[in-house]
Amino acid sequence: MMTPKTGFSGIVNREGAERQRAFRRKRRGGLMRFPTSKRGEGGHAHSRRKFALGAAVCLLALAACLAACAPSTAPQPTDTNAAVAETGESDGGDADASTAGSFSTAADFTDVSTGMFPDIQRNAEFQNAGNRGCAACHDDLFTLDKNNGSFVHITNQVGMKKGSYNGDCVVCHYQKMGTAGNIMSENLHVRHYSSPEFVNANGNCWSCHVTDTDENGNIIMKLFEDVKYDMRFGGYPNEDETDIHWLERHGWDEGTFSGVVREADPKLDVQVDQATSAEEDEFNILNFERIEGEDAYDQIEKSVNDGSYRFTVEGVGKPGEYTLDDLKAMPQTEFTAAQYCYVAGYNTAMFDNMPMKGVKLSDFIEAVGGVEAGANTVTPVAVDGWTAIYPDGATDLQSYIDNDAVIVLERYGHDLNIAQGGPVEIFVPGTGGTATVKNLVGIKFSKTDNPPVYSDIAVPSIEAGALINMNTSWFDNDGVQAKVGEPVTLEGASWGWTFGDACNYEVGKILFSLDYGQNWTEVDSPDSFDPYQWTHFTMTWTPEKAGTYIAKAKAVSKNGVEQGKDASIIIQVSE
């Protein structure tokens, strides 16, 4: 039996203890309530600037934490400004056409909500968890990008129909990287604070951010999604057993401030395979935003339809223009490989595992009479002017051949369409998307002094933490529903770069945890698996206790390199 808590004066905190007992009675009394976030069930939640906060702010924060020294039932959100229409309009202001569609809901920040987290005071009054993060207002950021005025993002479709999240944005837009997009932090702050919906809903810094401390004890700001899946969520920065026991002694039965249930030894049944993704679930991205009826993509599509398309080949024994029929008459290779964005975030939506058909680059070179003497680079040329990740597009030819590059003509048993990179693309298995050049109109072979290898740019970026060499994604969004005693199955996949010796991160095993990574269940990826494909998994689990859980997964390469950040998903279990 737990000893009643005492305050700093040594007096028994009877009010806090009574709230705690009331909450326990509610749990024992039947079905636990798990209110969904204001944007509805199943939505996906998913720069670093130092802020020197004054002593007064720190004292206020400390006072607020001490005031909540015991869990208690959260107050119920009111209906004030309860929902903004799908058009983005609200009662608090008139939205113009450019703003419409930006928000799926924009509930008032002062209408506290626990979201998908347990219904306790900590998550409501002291975290307001349901009103924070991108997903509190936006169904998913991909949909937002596709309906954001005159700007059209180059992503055509994300994989598995997941909701994309800010982790898929920050790699390109946190800092300017080569051909990446603009730095978004300034744009987004201005956009939000000039939005009637955001302002009238009492949006503020904490709508998107959390405060944390760095290794030197400095207070910094992070994105809400960077903390919400970690044990530190709720305001307790440490995660060792001493801290867990402290929490348990002070009224948090689960050993977490958030009340998330931890299961150290879950009985998991995990099966792995290399199943292909369905075509409707594939991930597509173009090199540049598409302007219907006006751009190079329309021109190449027209040329395919009227039969005038030609594929120009230079630097070979038989240079010239080749038709699609000419390419199809060359030796064909069928294969399956994972495709993933070069700059994807952890638990990304930008991935798939596709069946393809085309001419291996080595076979193509033979069919066109071999390359000219001394040629050591390859430059794929796209209709929109894109060549490759390097400015002039010239890349080491032998490394492409060694990594089984293919001039692809088909996916899923049919000719490539424009969104898929058609009519012709060069696909380099085991790499990020920048090595794969789409919508080709030709290819050049030439001689270059010290031609760059794809890994020359990838490795430094990986070492600097700017790129992800191994990744795992759940196919579901947050808010998976389950019942006590009934099995629930979740799907996902892991993959790693496998481009030469410098980028060899073939998946060796996948680890799963239901206690914030304190304990892991390991599942091997068989040696017989194709390193160019993903390792697809199904995880079946039968929960024994109601509550909110966070499942984590991560990959480990065959040479022992561990994925840098876990992929997490929220599961809500009811009686």
Confidence at residue 351, expressed as pLDDT on a 0 to 100 scale: 87
Confidence at residue 43, expressed as pLDDT on a 0 to 100 scale: 37
Confidence at residue 179, expressed as pLDDT on a 0 to 100 scale: 55
* Section 439-457 average pLDDT: 88
Q: Per-residue pLDDT for 20 more than 80?
A: no
Chain mean pLDDT for the chain? 78
Least confident of 70-74, 119-123, 175-179: 70-74
Length of the chain: 575
Radius of gyration of the chain (CA): 26
Residue pair 274/353 in contact (Cβ under 8 Å)? The answer is: yes
Higher-pLDDT residue of 575 and 291 is: 575
Higher-pLDDT residue of 155 and 356 is: 356
Q: Per-residue pLDDT for 13 more than 80?
A: no
Residues 501-520: pLDDT tens digits?
888 999 999 999 999 999 99
* Section 482-499 average pLDDT: 95
Read off the tokens for 117: 């987290």
Confidence at residue 272, expressed as pLDDT on a 0 to 100 scale: 98
Nearest to residue 507, comparing CAs of 539, 470, 541, 478?
470
The proportion of the chain whose per-residue pLDDT surpasses 90, expressed as a percent, equals 47
Confidence at residue 212, expressed as pLDDT on a 0 to 100 scale: 82
Residues 305-363: pLDDT tens digits?
999 999 999 999 999 999 999 999 999 999 999 988 877 888 888 889 999 999 999 99
Highest mean pLDDT among 94-98, 190-194, 429-433, 533-537: 533-537
Residues 37-79: pLDDT tens digits?
333 333 333 333 333 333 333 333 333 333 333 344 444 443 3
Least confident of 36-45, 105-114, 284-293, 492-501: 36-45
Q: Per-residue pLDDT for 365 more than 90?
A: yes
Model pTM? Answer: 0.80
Residue pair 312/321 in contact (Cβ under 8 Å)? The answer is: yes
Q: What are phi and psi of 409, to 5 degrees?
A: -120, -20
Highest mean pLDDT among 69-73, 142-146, 482-486: 482-486
Higher-pLDDT residue of 42 and 251 is: 251
Confidence at residue 374, expressed as pLDDT on a 0 to 100 scale: 95
How far is the C-alpha of 136 from the C-alpha of 112, rounded, in Å? 12
Q: Per-residue pLDDT for 404 more than 90?
A: yes
Confidence at residue 461, expressed as pLDDT on a 0 to 100 scale: 74
Read off the tokens for 247: 């929490």
Least confident of 156-170, 300-314, 470-484: 156-170
Higher-pLDDT residue of 150 and 480 is: 480
Highest mean pLDDT among 71-85, 358-372, 376-390, 459-473: 358-372
Residues 414-427: pLDDT tens digits?
999 998 999 999 99
Confidence at residue 522, expressed as pLDDT on a 0 to 100 scale: 97
- Residue 192, SS3 per DSSP: helix
Work out the pLDDT band at 500, boundaries 50, 70, 90.
confident
Query: What stretch of H or E contains 208?
Result: helix 205-208
Confidence at residue 150, expressed as pLDDT on a 0 to 100 scale: 57
Cβ neighbour number for residue 78 with a 10 Å cutoff: 12
How far is the C-alpha of 466 from the C-alpha of 161, rounded, in Å? 25
Residue pair 510/472 in contact (Cβ under 8 Å)? The answer is: yes
Work out the pLDDT band at 266, boundaries 50, 70, 90.
very high
CA distances from 113 to 10, 34, 82, 123, 554 (A): 33, 11, 11, 8, 30
Q: Per-residue pLDDT for 391 more than 70?
A: no
Confidence at residue 153, expressed as pLDDT on a 0 to 100 scale: 67
Higher-pLDDT residue of 548 and 145 is: 548
The proportion of the chain whose per-residue pLDDT surpasses 70, expressed as a percent, equals 73
Confidence at residue 164, expressed as pLDDT on a 0 to 100 scale: 67
What domains appear along the chain, each with residue ranges and CATH number?
33-249 (no CATH), 268-276+468-574 (2.60.40.650), 279-462 (3.90.420.10)
Read off the tokens for 324: 């699609």
